[in-house]
Structure 1
Amino acid sequence: MFLAHEVPVTLGGEATLTLRFRALHPDLAARKGRARWRPRLAEPAGLRFVRTTLLGHMPGWCPAVHAVGPFRPVELVADAGPLRVRAADLRTAYDGRDGRLTLTLTVDSRDGARPPATVEVAGQTAALAWIDADTLRGDLTIPGVEPWWPHTHGAPALHAVAARIGDTRIDLGRTGFRSLEVDRGPDGQGFALVVNGERIFARGACWTPPDIVGLSGDRAAYEPGLTLLRDAGANMVRVGGTMLYEADAFFDLCDELGILVWQDAMLANFDYPTDAAFLDGVRAEIAQLLDRTQASPSLAVLCGGSEMEQQAAMLGLARAAWAQPVLMETLQGELAVRRPDAVFVPNSPSGGALPFIADSGVSHYYGVGAYQRPLDDARRAGVRFAAECLAFSHVPDGLSDGALGVPAVHHPRWKERVPRDTGASWDFEDVRDHYLETLYAVDPRRLRYEDPDRYLRLSRAVTGEVIESVFGEWRRAGSTCAGGLVWLWRDLWPGAGWGVVASDGTPKAAWHAMRRAFRPVQAALTDEGVNGLAVHLLNETAAAIPAVVTLTALRDGAVPVFRAERAVALPPRSAQTIPAAALSDRFFDLTHAYRFGPAAHDVVVLTLTRSEGAETDAEPIAQSFHFPKGRALPRADLGLTVEVRHGEDGWALTLTTRRFACSVHVEDDGYRAQDAWFHLPPGAARTVRLLPRAGTTKAPDGEVHALNASAPIRYRGNA
C-alpha cells in the first residue's frame, strides 16, 4: 500500500489502464511463519506480513472500513522536453545565525548540453556545478536567515527554493532552516527536543485521517483539522504506526502552521518478518517518505513504530525478544542517509527498564487515565516524554451526539462506539466515570439513569479538567516532562470516542481544555500540600512580558476573603515558580492543609494579565483555579448575564456573573462558541465569539449553561 511505483509506458493512441487489487484475507492465509507473539490490537494475525494500514482492522475502536483501491492519485507524466529532473536532494542546516542549503539535482538531459545553472533561496543565489553528465551540485550560505520555529516559540518562516538550468526554471517548493537535537538530561534518561538551541515542551495529539473511507490526501481534507490543532496551541502531531503515511499536503501545512511532526513507520504491535523481501519493502517505503518530505522542516522524529517492544514485554517474552533490531537498523540507516537533521526513536514506547516505564525515554502514559491513578501520579511517575497519553471516552456536544441517531448513554449503539481494549472487561467510559466520581463526588451510575443530561454535562467537563491538571503539572518549572501527545485527535466515527474532536470536525469540551493547557504564555496552580499553593508562570515566546499576578480566594464563589497581587516579569523562554504564600504579608490557608476549622473559601482564582506601565489589560492572558473543597459546587442562582452583540467580526456574547460560574458553555443550533467550558470568576466580563455552523443563516438563539447554575440563561440575537 505504501510504495509508489513509476511505470514507463509508450502510448500510441487510445490506451486502457487496468489495476488489479486482490482480496487481502486469502492472500494472508497463504503466508507462513510463526510469530513470537500474537497481539490483540488488530486482526487477522497475518497482517504482519503485508504492508497495509491497520485502520479498519482494530475492532476495539475503529470501524471495519478496509483500504481498497489506489491509495494516492495516479498521474500520467509526459516524458518530453529537453530536460527532466529525476531527483532532487535538498539539505538544510542552521547554526543559530546563518542557514545553509545543499542541493544535488539528477537530471536527464537529452541533448547532452551543460548550460550554466544556479540555485536561489531567501534572496541569495549560488552556482550549481556539473559533477557529471546527469548531476549538478551546489552549496549556499544565507547569512542571518530567519529560522523556522514551532509556532508556539516563534514564526515558522519558510523560504522559496528554485533552480535554473539554462532557460529552464525548476520550482523546488519551500523549505525552512532549523536545528534539532535531543536533550537526554543529566541522567541520560530524558527525551526533550531542542529546536534552534531552545528546549521545547512538545504538546499536541496523535493524528487520525480526516477521511477514513476515501483516505483523501489533498489540502482541503487536511487544512480544517490541522488549523484547529494549531489553534489549540499544539506544536506537535504524531502520525502513529496504526495509521498511514499522509500525503505531501499534510507536511506542507505542518510547515506553514509551525507544527512539528512525529512520524511513525507503519509498524505496530506485531512481530514482523525479517526476510530480505520484507526488509527491502520497508526500506523502500521509508526512503520514499523521506525523499518527498526532505525539504520539510516540520518533520522532526522518525519512530520505528508503535508498541512492538511493549507488546512483547507485556506478554511475558524474555528481554532479548523485545526489540526487532534488524528492522530498526533498516529504518535508522535510511534516516541517516536521507534526513540526518531528524531524530530517530526505535519504538514508542521505549527507553526504560521496561519499554513502557514512564520515567525513562519515551512512554505511553496512562497512569492518569486507563489505570485510574490519582491526578498526582502525573508527578510521581516522573514522565519524561509521553508520545501517547490521557485517553478517555470524550463525550461530543449535543449536535454531534445526534449523528449516531440514537439517545446518548443508554442505547446499545452508543455503547458499541465507546472505545475499549480488545478482551478487556472494561471500556474507556468506565475510566471517565472513575474520574467523574473522584472529581465531582457523584455516583455516575445513579446519575446516568436519574439525570442523563447532568451526567453528560459533567462527563464533557471532567476529561478536560484532567487534561488541564496533568499538563499544568508537566509544564511547570522543575518538571521532568518534556512533552505529551493526547490520544487521540479526532474520532473515526460518530460517538463518544477517544478524539478531542468529534468525527464531524466539531471540537469537544476536551479540545477547549487543551487550548487552555497549551497556551505559550501560561499560569497554573498546583497543590503542594502543607507547602500551600504554587504559582507557575511560563513564557515560551521570544519577547519579555511585563505582567501582574493576582490571587483571589472566594467564599460561596462571590465574597473575596483573600487577595494578593504582584507585578512580575516574564523573561523570554522562561519558566518560574512562586510560592503563593510569598505573594502576601499574612498567612492564609489557601489549600486548607492545616484544617483550622472549615475552609473559609471554595475556589482560588489565579489571573495573569499583561501590564504596560500603570495600565493593565482587561482580558487575562491566562487563568487557573484551585478547589479546596473539590469541584462539586452546589447549584445556585449565579447572577449570570448575557449580552448579544453583532459587529464586523460576526456575533459574540458578553458574559458576566456575580458568583463563580463553573464550566460555562453555550448551546446554539446555529453556532458554536469559540471558547467554551471555561470557569468565569465574578466581577469581570468575558466576550465569546460565536462561529456559525455549516448552513447557518439565522441570528443566534440559544442558552448559556454553567455546571453550578440552577438554570441556563436564554439569549436571542436580533437579525
Structure 2
Amino acid sequence: MARIREVTGRRVTPLADGWEMTVGGDGRWIPAPVPGTAAQALQAAGLWTLDAPTPLHDRDVLYRTRLSGDGPGILRFQGLATLAEVTLDGRPILDCDSMYLSHDVPVTLAGEALLEIRFRALHPVLSGRKGRARWRPKMIEPASLRFARTTLLGHMPGWCPSVHAVGPWRPVELVEEDGPVRVRAADLRTGFDGRAGTLSLTLTLADTPGRLPAELEVGGHVRTLEWLDDRTLRAEAVLPGIEPWWPHTHGRPALHPLSVRIGDSRVDLGRVGFRSIERAGGPDGQGFGLRINGEPVFCRGACWTPADIVSLPGTREAYEPILRRVAGAGMNMVRVGGTMVYESDAFFELCDELGILVWQDFMFANFDYPADPAYRESVRAEAAQFLDRIQGSPSLAVLCGGSEAEQQAAMLGLPREAWSQPVFTDILPGEAARLRPDVPYVTNSPSGGPLPFAADAGVTHYYGVGAYQRPLEDARRAGVRFASECLAFANVPEETAAGVPAVHHPRWKERVPRDLGASWDFEDVRDHYLQRLYGVEPNRLRYEDQDRYLRLSRAVTAEVMEATFGEWRRVGSSCGGGLVWLLRDLWPGAGWGVLDAAGRPKAAWYGLRRAFRPLQVILTDEGVNGLAVHLLNETAEAVPAVLTLTALRHGEVAVARAERAVTLPARSSQVLSSAELLGRFFDWTYAYRFGPPAHDVTVAILSQAGTDGTAAGEPLAEAFHFPNGRALPRSDLGLAATVAQAGEDWVLTLRTQRLACSVHVEDERFRAEDAWFHLPPGRERRLRLSPRDGGGGGVPDGEVHALNALAPIRFRG
C-alpha cells in the first residue's frame, strides 16, 4: 500500500535497542545495531574488516533482544537477510526465505518477552538445491544464488568486496493500535494531464464505528470520500491548477501534503507529486526515452550503489549527502540496478524532494531463474510489496525486470527464444501494470534490439567508448538510443585512501575493477584513452612521474565523459539518456564511481557536472563543415544570451572571433554553424589543412545578456574544442591566484594569460567548489573554498595546478 505516515491511535515503536548477536554458536555475544548487519556489528567489535572480510554465509548468526508490551500488537520485520527463523519466548512465529519481503506477525504480549532471530547459513542450504540452468554467469559466485532472494553484492569478486549481507538490515517494529479507525491498505494513483492533477485513493479499513464523514485534503483542495461498503472508502479527484512535479533540471519538483480525515481520526499519507511519464520510441519507434508532462527529457546520471556496503543503511542521513551530490552535478536520474538492493522509503522521499528520477530494476541479474510455482509466488509478493510502498512517489520513472539476464543468454550464443524468462515477461510486468501503470516497464537492461546489447535500438549498456576502447567518435557512430549503463573507468580518487597506496601497491590493483576472465582491467582502459588524448606512454609515465600520471589519469576520464555526453545531447542526436556506471565506489580505491567511497567528488564528477548543465553550449566537430554550436535550454523560462566563439593560437592570441546575441526559448534546442557565426572561411576543425594549424583551441562562451544586450555576469556555460588534440605543451601560462575572505567564506580568484587546462586546487584544509575545468585567457574565475570534511579553522594555503603549466602556483590567505 502507499506510505501511511501516521494514523490517529496507532503507535509504532522501533525495536532498535538492546540487541546482541553471536556467530556460529561460539557463545560470544556482542552488541548489535538494528537495523543493521552482522558484518557491521563485528566490525564495530573489532572482529571483522573490509580489507579482509570474513565470510558469513557459512555459519548461523543469532540475534536476540527483550521487548515488553501488554495486549495485542504486530511485530513488523521490514527486512531479514536472508534465511531467518524468528521465535518469541521460544515459540516459532516466522520463517523467512527472502531478504526483500516485509512480514507483519500478530502477537499478544503480557509483559517482557525474548525475541530471537536465527539467520541460517545460506551457502550450505543453497548447495543442496537442484535444478539445471541454461547458462551460468561468470561474474557471480556461487551459481546457486539464482535460487535465493538475496542481494548479489558481495558475490561479484571482479569489482565488489566480499561483504555478505546477513541480519535484520531493515527496521524491526512493534505496531499497536487503539484508535477507532484502522487502515489496512491504501491504494493511491496520481497523474497530470497538462492542466489538472488527478488523484485516485481507495482506503481499506478494519472494523469501524459506522460510516463516519470522510474527506481528503491535498495541495489546498478538499474532496469527499465515498463509502463503497463498511470497510472501503474511495475518492476520484480532479485538481485544476495544481502545480506539477518536474525533474529538477526542467522545473520545480512540487510536492503536496496528502491527508484523510475520517470522523475525528486523521491519516497522514505523506507528500505526493502530480506528473505524467510517457515512453518515447523516436520517429522509428525503436528507441527509448521519456517525456515528462509532455516534454522530452534527456535523462542523465549514474547507477546507484548503497550508501555503505557493510551496514546497508536506509536512513535519510545516509542517503541525503549522496543524493545532493547527484542533484548538484546536474544529474536527473539514478538507476538502482538488479545487483544491488531495494532502497528504503527515505531514498524515494529524497528523490521526490530533489527532483531525481529513479530507474528501478527489480533485484534480478544475469541468472536463468527458476520457474516453479513457489518461486513465482515469492517474486510476485516481492514486487507487490515494493510497488505498494512507493505508490505515491513521482520520482519513480522506469521499472525494469533486471540486469543483463537477456544479455547473458545472448552473449553465450543461446537462441532468441532462450533470452526471455517468465519472471521478466509475465510476473513483474503484471505487478507493475497493476500497481504502477503510470510507469514504463522494460523487460531487461539491456534489451530491445536485434541483440539485447545493440546500441542503436532499445536500451543498451554502452561501453564502445570505455571497455571496448573505441575512439570518441563511436559515441555518435553507434547510434545509442538510451544507455542505462555506460562509460565505466577506473576513476582515480582525488585523495588516495590510507592503506591503499596509489598505482604500484597490490591493494591498489586489487581494487581496480575487472571482468572475470578478461586479460585486462579498467585501469588498462583508462590508460588507453590517456595515451590517445594526451599522447603519452602510460607505463613509462607511471614509472617515471607518478604524480603527473595520476593527474592525467584523473583528467582523462572527465574529458572522455564530457565529450561523450556532448555527442549524446547535441541537436539531432538519437540518444534519450545515459547513466554512468557507477555513482559511488563500494570501497576505497580507483573504482568505477565518480564519487569515492567517502562520497567525495572525483574529477569525473566535475566533468559530468559540466556536461549535464540545463543551460548548455556544446561544440561538435563536423569535419569540413566546421564546428556545430549547439545551444540547449531545458528550463521553463526563455533566456536572452550572448554567444562568443573564439579561436586561440598558443592558447592566447585570438585569430578568429564571432559574437552573437541569441535567445534560448524555454525547453528548446538549436544549432548554429561556426561559418555562419563568423561570416567568412576559417578552418575551425583543421579539416582542410592549408598549411600549419592556425589555432590550438576554440572556446565557446554562453553568457546571460544584460539590459544593454552585452554579456553580463559569470558565463552560463562554456565549451572547448582542440583541433589538434589535448596534448598541449607545458609552458608558463601566466596563471595567478589571490585569496580573500568574504564574510565567513574564503574566495580564490584565478586569472591566466594563456588557456589553462584541467585546473584544480590542492589545499589540505579547504576544498574548491569546482575543479578540472579549463580557464581561458581574459577571464576571471572566482571559487568558493569550503573546509574539508571534519576541517575548520586556519586559512587557505595551497596550490593551483593546470595540466599544461610548467609548475603549480601557490596561494595563501
Name the CA distance, whole Å, in 2 between partners of 1:418 and 1:329: 38
4+ residue segments displaced more than 3 Å: none
Name the CA distance, whole Å, in 2 between partners of 1:234 and 1:62: 24
Query: Which residue of the partner structure matches residue 27 of structure 1?
Result: 125
Name the CA distance, whole Å, in 1 between partners of 2:743 and 2:221: 42
Name the CA distance, whole Å, in 1 between partners of 2:706 and 2:722: 31
> Mapping of 1:430-579 within 5 angstroms?
430-579=524-673
Gapped runs of 5+ residues in structure 2?
1-98
TM-score by length of 2: 0.87
Name the CA distance, whole Å, in 1 between partners of 2:556 and 2:715: 23
Query: Which residue of the partner structure matches residue 693 of structure 1?
Result: 788
Query: Which residue of the partner structure matches residue 622 of structure 1?
Result: 717
Q: Deviation string for 1:427-471 (max 9, x for gaps)?
A: 000000000000000000110001010000000000010001010
- TM-superposed deviation, 1:113: 1.9
Name the CA distance, whole Å, in 1 between partners of 2:177 and 2:639: 57
Q: In 2, are the aligned partners of 1:546 and 1:569 still within 8 Å (CA)? A: yes
SS at match of 2:258: strand
> Mapping of 1:642-661 within 5 angstroms?
642-648=737-743, 650-661=745-756
Q: Deviation string for 1:100-138 (max 9, x for gaps)?
A: 11111111135x322100011011111111111211111
Query: Which residue of the partner structure matches residue 449 of structure 2?
Result: 352
Residue type of the alignment partner of 1:528: E
TM-score by length of 1: 0.98
Residue type of the alignment partner of 1:228: R
Q: In 2, are the aligned partners of 1:404 and 1:495 still within 8 Å (CA)? A: no
Name the CA distance, whole Å, in 2 between partners of 1:621 and 1:327: 44
Q: In 2, are the aligned partners of 1:404 and 1:414 still within 8 Å (CA)? A: no
Name the CA distance, whole Å, in 2 between partners of 1:245 and 1:365: 24
Query: Which residue of the partner structure matches residue 599 of structure 1?
Result: 693
Q: In 1, are the aligned partners of 2:500 and 2:588 still within 8 Å (CA)? A: no
Gapped runs of 5+ residues in structure 1?
none
Residue type of the alignment partner of 1:108: A
Name the CA distance, whole Å, in 2 between partners of 1:377 and 1:585: 31
Residue 382 (structure 2) pairs with residue 252 (structure 1):
no
Q: Which one of the candidate residues 240, 244, 248 is aligned to 1:151? A: 248
Name the CA distance, whole Å, in 1 between partners of 2:768 and 2:304: 24
Q: Which one of the candidate residues 189, 192, 202 is aligned to 1:91? A: 189
SS at match of 1:430: helix
Residue 270 (structure 2) pairs with residue 173 (structure 1):
yes
Name the CA distance, whole Å, in 1 between partners of 2:413 and 2:713: 58
Residue type of the alignment partner of 2:107: V
Q: In 2, are the aligned partners of 1:704 and 1:712 still within 8 Å (CA)? A: yes
Q: Deviation string for 1:580-618 (max 9, x for gaps)?
A: 110112211111111111101111101100103324213
Query: Which residue of the partner structure matches residue 513 of structure 2?
Result: 419
SS at match of 2:108: coil
Name the CA distance, whole Å, in 2 between partners of 1:377 and 1:581: 25
Name the CA distance, whole Å, in 2 between partners of 1:326 and 1:216: 28
Query: Which residue of the partner structure matches residue 324 of structure 2?
Result: 227
Name the CA distance, whole Å, in 1 between partners of 2:720 and 2:177: 64
Q: In 2, are the aligned partners of 1:125 and 1:140 still within 8 Å (CA)? A: no
Query: Which residue of the partner structure matches residue 807 of structure 2?
Result: 711
SS at match of 2:211: coil
Residue type of the alignment partner of 1:80: D
Query: Which residue of the partner structure matches residue 55 of structure 1?
Result: 153
- TM-superposed deviation, 1:188: 1.1
- TM-superposed deviation, 1:16: 1.2
- TM-superposed deviation, 1:327: 3.9
Q: Which one of the candidate residues 132, 147, 167 is aligned to 2:229? A: 132
SS at match of 1:481: coil
Name the CA distance, whole Å, in 2 between partners of 1:433 and 1:372: 10
Residue type of the alignment partner of 2:564: V
Query: Which residue of the partner structure matches residue 684 of structure 2?
Result: 590
Name the CA distance, whole Å, in 2 between partners of 1:512 and 1:442: 23
Aligned length: 713
Residue type of the alignment partner of 2:773: F
Query: Which residue of the partner structure matches residue 682 of structure 1?
Result: 777
Residue type of the alignment partner of 1:10: T
Moved more, 448-457 or 404-413: 404-413
Residue type of the alignment partner of 2:153: L
Query: Which residue of the partner structure matches residue 372 of structure 1?
Result: 469
Residue 176 (structure 2) pairs with residue 78 (structure 1):
yes
Moved more, 366-375 or 327-336: 327-336
Name the CA distance, whole Å, in 1 between partners of 2:684 and 2:440: 44
Higher strand proportion, which one? 2
Name the CA distance, whole Å, in 1 between partners of 2:745 and 2:204: 52
Q: In 1, are the aligned partners of 2:397 and 2:439 still within 8 Å (CA)? A: yes
Query: Which residue of the partner structure matches residue 25 of structure 2?
Result: none
SS at match of 1:704: strand
Query: Which residue of the partner structure matches residue 18 of structure 2?
Result: none
User: What is the root-mean-square deviation in Å for CA atoms of aligned residues?
Assistant: 0.9
- TM-superposed deviation, 1:404: 4.1
Q: Which one of the candidate residues 466, 481, 488 is aligned to 1:391? A: 488
SS at match of 1:234: coil
Name the CA distance, whole Å, in 2 between partners of 1:41 and 1:262: 23
Residue type of the alignment partner of 1:459: S
SS at match of 2:347: helix
- TM-superposed deviation, 1:649: 5.3
Q: In 1, are the aligned partners of 2:401 and 2:423 still within 8 Å (CA)? A: no
Q: Deviation string for 1:650-673 (max 9, x for gaps)?
A: 112110001110000011111211
Residue 110 (structure 2) pairs with residue 16 (structure 1):
no
Q: Which one of the candidate residues 757, 769, 778 is aligned to 1:662? A: 757
Residue 728 (structure 2) pairs with residue 633 (structure 1):
yes
Q: In 1, are the aligned partners of 2:424 and 2:444 still within 8 Å (CA)? A: no
Q: In 1, are the aligned partners of 2:180 and 2:265 still within 8 Å (CA)? A: no
Name the CA distance, whole Å, in 1 between partners of 2:449 and 2:393: 31
Residue type of the alignment partner of 1:413: R
Name the CA distance, whole Å, in 2 between partners of 1:450 and 1:456: 12
Name the CA distance, whole Å, in 1 between partners of 2:310 and 2:419: 34
Q: Which one of the candidate residues 156, 159, 167 is aligned to 1:69? A: 167
Q: In 2, are the aligned partners of 1:664 and 1:707 still within 8 Å (CA)? A: yes
Residue 702 (structure 2) pairs with residue 608 (structure 1):
yes
Name the CA distance, whole Å, in 2 between partners of 1:649 and 1:388: 41
Name the CA distance, whole Å, in 2 between partners of 1:331 and 1:642: 57
